């Protein structure tokens, strides 16, 4: 089968591979709609998780089941399914402890385009199909539903990690697609003032649609000062980080956070050896400013719940799709768009 792959750090291309084998609990799926992720860019061009050779990229897909293993109960060939980016081994001890995303080791629930072939192939393998696939509900736009694989659950997980509560003042740093979904998630969770830090007009406009009350443009001065000015010098209760760097963003987040506040980071820190934390602003280590960083949990139940937010009209992640391609061969173009990030891009999708 054909697939678009990471050939090595900084190198991508089309390759031919044997089709994957289907184990008794597994499924083989062909992609119907896929989207590239900024994480693919960190992986290939920053070598952020180490070198990979001839590994098919991609972890965001809606697909059609082609084959199921003998023990799969709830899916059959022909079913249209949402495929989460994170597909844990649900029997692992880490999953039993509540950390499915780390089943089998840190970040090991993230399999596609990390240590097995991803969804940019003619076929891909899904482990534990009953636990990791969700049926695509009737009437849901396939392209929009691809956002359920990663953008929606990751943005929402940032909100969970920050533990946003009714009435909280919240700041979301970075309003690419992940940050935009964090804005939407924080609004659904009852944020009051909801500050979205970004500079691109299309992202800012969409952030407002998803519930941001204020746009903080980092090109118009220090974002911490802007937030302090808008909160009578008090800062915010919660921060979600979905953009920026290990060097600067945590400094800003900690400085703008009230004592007792929480930071939820879902940004993939692709480079640098250390994350910088400001000592005094962190209360000399005693400020009760909690930093939580995580990979989204994945799995079927989460996909079904988030899909029902779309079916009921409470969330429309399809508004983020700025570029639509038709045809398998456009996966390359879509990925390169994600790398080059033209100003009008929020998220591309490829319909196959
Ligand atoms: P993106 O690049 O489209 O968006 C990031 C945004 O942050 C951009 O708009 C950029 O302009 C902005 N930004 C950069 N520097 C900033 C700064 N100093 N202050 C404020 N904003 C700044 O990326 P995305 O697709 O939205 O993904 C966001 C991050 O989440 C990426 O690092 C991605 O790899 C990661 N990610 C994590 C998970 C997970 O499970 N934890 C899953 C998917 C993606
Ligand atoms: Zn991703």
Q: What is the mean pLDDT of each run of 10 residues along the chain (352 residues)?
A: 97 97 98 96 92 97 98 98 98 97 97 96 98 97 98 98 98 98 98 97 98 96 97 98 95 98 96 95 98 96 98 98 97 96 96 96
Nearest Cα to Cα of residue 290 among 159, 162, 98: 162
Position in ligand 1 atom list of the atom nearest CA 158? 41
Closest Cα to atom 44 of ligand 1: 39
Position in ligand 1 atom list of the atom nearest CA 345? 3
pLDDT of 41 reads 95
Cα dihedral value 45, 50, 56, 59, nearest 10: -80
pLDDT of 205 reads 98
Task: Give the CB-side neighbour count of residue 53, counting CA atoms within 13 A.
Answer: 0
pLDDT of 271 reads 86
pLDDT of 1 reads 97
Instruction: Please give the sequence-ordered ranges of beta strands (E in DSSP) within 18-161, or none if there are none.
Output: 27-34, 55-56, 61-68, 80-83, 124-126, 134-135
Closest ligand to residue 215's CA: 1
CA distance 126 to 90: 13
8-state DSSP, 68: E
pTM score of the predicted model:
0.97
Give the distance (Å) from ligand 2 centre to CA of residue 166.
28
Pocket of ligand 1 (CB under 6 A): 37-39, 42, 150, 154, 173-179, 197-198, 203, 218, 242-244, 248-249, 266-268, 295-296
Nearest Cα to Cα of residue 114 among 30, 157, 52: 52
């Amino acid at each position: 089968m054909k697939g678009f792959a990471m050939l090595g750090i900084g190198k991508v291309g089309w390759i031919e591979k044997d089709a994957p084998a289907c184990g008794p609990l597994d499924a083989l799926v062909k992609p119907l709609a896929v989207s590239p992720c900024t994480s693919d860019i960190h992986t290939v061009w920053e070598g952020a998780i180490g070198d990979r050779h001839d590994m098919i990229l991609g972890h965001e897909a809606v697909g059609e089941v082609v084959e199921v293993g003998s023990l799969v109960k709830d899916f059959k060939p022909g079913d249209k399914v949402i495929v989460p980016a994170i597909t844990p081994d649900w029997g692992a001890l880490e999953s039993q402890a509540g950390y499915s995303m780390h089943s089998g080791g840190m970040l090991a629930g993230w399999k596609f385009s990390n240590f097995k072939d991803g969804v940019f192939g003619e076929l891909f393998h899904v482990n534990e199909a009953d636990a990791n696939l969700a049926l695509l509900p009737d009437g849901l736009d396939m392209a929009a539903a691809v956002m359920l694989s990663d953008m929606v659950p990751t943005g929402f997980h940032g909100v969970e990690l920050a533990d946003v509560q009714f009435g909280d003042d919240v700041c979301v740093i970075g309003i690419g697609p992940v940050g935009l979904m964090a804005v939407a998630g924080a609004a659904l969770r009852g944020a009051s003032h909801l500050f979205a830090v970004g500079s691109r007009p299309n992202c800012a406009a969409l952030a407002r649609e998803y519930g941001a009350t204020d746009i903080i443009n980092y090109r118009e001065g220090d974002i911490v000062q802007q937030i302090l000015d808008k909160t009578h010098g008090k800062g915010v209760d919660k921060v979600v980080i979905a953009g920026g760097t290990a060097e600067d963003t945590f400094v800003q987040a900690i400085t703008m956070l009230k004592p007792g506040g929480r930071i939820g980071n879902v940004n993939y820190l692709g480079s640098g050896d250390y994350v910088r934390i400001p000592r005094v602003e962190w209360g000399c280590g005693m400020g009760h400013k909690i930093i939580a960083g995580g990979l989204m949990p994945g799995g079927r139940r989460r996909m079904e719940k988030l899909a029902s937010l779309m079916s009921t009209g409470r969330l429309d992640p399809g508004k983020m799709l700025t570029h639509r391609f038709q045809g398998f061969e456009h996966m390359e173009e879509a990925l390169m768009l994600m790398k080059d990030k033209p100003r009008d891009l929020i998220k591309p999708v490829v319909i196959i």
